[in-house]
Amino acid sequence: MIQENFIKLYEHSFRENWELPCYTNYGEKESYTYGQVAQEIARMHLLFKHCQLRRGDKIAIIGKNNARWAIAYMATVTYGGIVVPILQDFNPNDVHHIVNHSESVFLFTGDAIWDHLEEDRMEGLRGVFSLTDYRCLYQRDGENIQQFLKNLDSEMAETYPNGYRKEDVVYTDLSNDKVMLLNYTSGTTGFSKGVMLTGNNLAGNVTFGIRTRLLERGNRILSFLPLAHAYGCAFDFLTATAVGTHVTFLGKIPSPKILLKAFEEVKPNLIITVPLVIEKIYKNAVQPIINKRSMKWALNIPLLDAKIYSQIRKKLIDALGGRFKEVIIGGAAMNPEVEEFFHRIKFPFTIGYGMTECAPLISYAPWDEFIPTSSGRVLEGIMEARIAKKHPDDPIGEIQVRGENVMAGYYKNPEATKEVFTEDGWLRTGDLGTLDEKNNLYIRGRSKTMILSSSGQNIFPEEIEARLNNLPFVIESLVIERNKKLVALVYADYEALDSLGLNNDEGLKAVMDENLKNLNKSVASYEKVSKIQLYPTEFEKTPKRSIKRYLYDSIAID
């Protein structure tokens, strides 16, 4: 059992780091020190107390990453409530369902999101608050929340006659085995389930971040992954706040242009990201350099290549702010070509593995110990992993895990909980892979997406897609099975094709025929794709930027 009490980590941090900068909204004037955050939490606790909220009451939060989102989360858990973060990409029907299913009594929301929600479809809500200024947007009949908020300053003055001081930071005593968070997974295969995470699950991740010194007091970090997702939440926010790091919330869609400007200004000490973001930066900032004819020629000359790689590495590090000790990539599979290139130029990156059900971390290794193509080492002393093979001769099997970070189960869903655990108590991840003698995990694909060829070989569509996505004019692809043959749906770079006058039937056919030929040269005979079919738009994705594959299972093929 993790010894550090999750809530007491923050009681200690707000006292110790009182004067330090805590949360800043990027591009805005709104900024808080640790002391000011603690004061905002105290104000919220007075409101919760006035409304007679009980321990274990649920409070939902939906909106873009910002300081008030983080404060609402902290206020909920330090009061003894259960926080229900909702991804802002969910449609209104899903939000209504999650608020009702979780039995949330309060909702903190972005103003634009509130415009699309209907309070009469969330009958359990007693109050709704704006993430812009905490004003009360809705109160149920019989509640006097708005009146109380008008008098909140005088309530604070009465409760803390000497002003709110660091000695006043005293939070609830709640053991780590209590559920503190309900995380509704985005899921690429259908409707989401409420993952019950305890203080121990959360403390397992945060204390790992503290112990390995991922972040330290006075560091800076740029938070751009959705806070409602376990990965960004655990490290950009929870670990950062526990150690006295200054968090800047981007609050915008992280396009390469916006991100690179923010990295330059914030100069973060650690970068937590998903493959898609880093692959786009690689495509925009690195590929044009290495694809120049003179550069290709120079890279074939011994001694010159090391010098050029060193220059590219420096350019890339500078572009990301120049102060970070490593880039941690997780959340989805990394493009092998990009990974191999980063390793060749000795770029300080590492790839971790986790899932919401583990809050999220399962494996990680620091960049200078990271083995290429792996997903790091299973967390020593915190998690265990095993490979469950259907037949002893199988080279791979399902990754199953147990340990401190594993959830308590799915909320109000005993059937799904029973299904996801083995009889001897291991969590089935649904991912296929291998484990080496040093406990490094290697992920091969999802058991749900694996295709079994007619000759009995396992085909992982993600591996074929990674190759296809590196070919000219391909933005993204999806490999599916039709009549025992593989077909690739491709969303092409129509803009680039336009600029070259190739965006016509003849040009498109020539380009994709060439791509198909080159793809099939690079894969095993049983992985060959029979045809490429163009798709008119970007594929629909989860907030974690994984393609919602199930939406394309029954698509018609020409």
Q: What local confidence, expressed as pLDDT, does residue 463 receive? A: 81
- Quick one: CATH architecture of 453-552? 2-Layer Sandwich (3.30)
Supply 305's token pair: 């290549």
* Whole-angstrom Cα Rg for the chain: 25
Instruction: Name which CATH class applies to 6-249.
Output: alpha beta
CATH topology of domain 271-323+326-446: Rossmann fold (3.40.50)
**pLDDT, one tens digit for every residue, the chain (558 residues):** 445 899 999 999 999 999 999 999 999 989 999 999 999 999 999 999 999 999 999 999 999 999 999 999 999 999 999 999 998 877 888 899 999 999 999 999 999 999 999 999 999 999 999 999 999 999 999 999 999 999 999 999 999 999 999 999 999 999 999 999 999 975 433 456 899 999 999 999 999 999 999 999 999 999 999 899 899 999 999 999 999 999 999 999 888 889 999 999 999 999 999 887 888 888 887 888 877 777 777 777 777 788 888 988 998 999 999 999 999 998 777 888 899 999 999 999 999 999 999 999 999 999 999 999 999 999 999 999 999 998 888 888 999 999 999 999 999 999 999 999 999 999 999 899 999 999 999 998 776 777 866 555 668 788 899 889 989 999 999 999 888 889 999 999 999 898 988 888 888 999 999 999 999 988 878 789 999 999 999 998 876 677 888 788 778 887
Cα of 183 vs its chain's centroid, Å: 12
Measuring CA to CA, which residue among 261, 268, 270 is closest to residue 235? 270
Measuring CA to CA, which residue among 92, 85, 332, 59 is closest to residue 185? 85
Please, are residues 101 and 194 in contact by the beta-carbon 8 Å criterion? yes
Q: What local confidence, expressed as pLDDT, does residue 426 receive? A: 98
Q: What local confidence, expressed as pLDDT, does residue 401 receive? A: 98
Q: What local confidence, expressed as pLDDT, does residue 323 receive? A: 96
CA angle 175, 70, 207 (to 5 degrees): 45
Q: What local confidence, expressed as pLDDT, does residue 453 receive? A: 67
Sequence ranges of the domains in the chain: 6-249, 271-323+326-446, 453-552
Please, are residues 501 and 511 in contact by the beta-carbon 8 Å criterion? no
What are φ and ψ of residue 402, in 5° steps? -150, 160
The answer for residues whose C-beta is within 8 angstroms of residue 3's C-beta and 6 or more apart is: none
Residue reference for tokens 């007091």:
217
Q: Please determine whether the domains at 6-249 and 271-323+326-446 fall in the same fold group of CATH.
A: yes
- Max distance between CA atoms of the chain, in angstroms, equals 78
Task: Please name every residue paired with 127 in a beta bridge, in sequence order, or none if there are none.
Answer: 106, 139
Q: What local confidence, expressed as pLDDT, does residue 455 receive? A: 55
User: What does the alpha-carbon distance between residue 23 and residue 77 come to, in Å, rounded to a whole number?
Assistant: 18
Q: How far is CA 3 from CA 196, 541, 553, in A?
A: 20, 38, 46
Q: What local confidence, expressed as pLDDT, does residue 192 receive? A: 66
User: What does the alpha-carbon distance between residue 66 and residue 133 come to, in Å, rounded to a whole number?
Assistant: 11
Q: What local confidence, expressed as pLDDT, does residue 343 receive? A: 94
Neighbour count for residue 359 (Cβ, 10 Å)? 29
Q: What local confidence, expressed as pLDDT, does residue 189 receive? A: 37
User: What does the alpha-carbon distance between residue 213 and residue 5 come to, in Å, rounded to a whole number?
Assistant: 19
